[in-house]
Amino acid sequence: MVKPWLGHYTYGMRTRFYTHPICREHITPPGHPERPDRLRVIVDRLDDEPFAYLERLEAPLAAEETVLYAHPQEHLDKVKANIPQQGLACIDEDTTVSPKSLEAALTAIGGALAGVDDVFSGETGNVFVAGRPPGHHAEKNRAMGFCLFNSAAIAARHAQKKHGAERVAIVDWDVHHGNGTQDIFWDDPSVLYCSTHQMPLYPGTGAAEETGAGNIVNAPLPAESGSDAFRAAFNEAVLPALDRFSPDLIIVSAGFDAHRRDPLAEINLEADDFDWATGVLMERADRLSQGRLVSLLEGGYDLQGLSVSVAAHVGRLLKG
- Facing residues of 195 across strands? 172, 218
Indicate the DSSP class of residue 299: -
CA distance 27 to 170: 28
The answer to whether residue 137 is catalytic is yes
Asked if residues 282 and 234 have their Cβ atoms less than 8 Å apart, the reply is no
CA distance 307 to 296: 15
CA distance 210 to 197: 13
- Sign for the CA dihedral angle at 205, 209, 210, 216 comes to positive
Q: At 197, which helix (H) or strand (E)?
A: strand 191-198
Q: At 128, which helix (H) or strand (E)?
A: strand 126-129
CA distance 182 to 136: 9
Q: Is 296 helix (H, G, I), strand (E, B) or coil?
A: strand
Count other Cβ atoms within 10 Å, centred on residue 87: 9
Sheet of strand 216-221: strand arrangement: 55-58, 15-19, 126-129, 293-297, 249-254, 168-172, 191-198, 216-221
Residues in the chain, overall count: 320
Instruction: Show Cβ contacts of residue 273 under 8 Å, excluding neighbours closer than 6 positions.
Output: 227, 230, 231, 258
**Catalytic, out of 20, 71, 137, 177:** 137
Q: Which phi and psi (to 5°) does residue 187 adopt?
A: -115, 30
Catalytic residues: 137
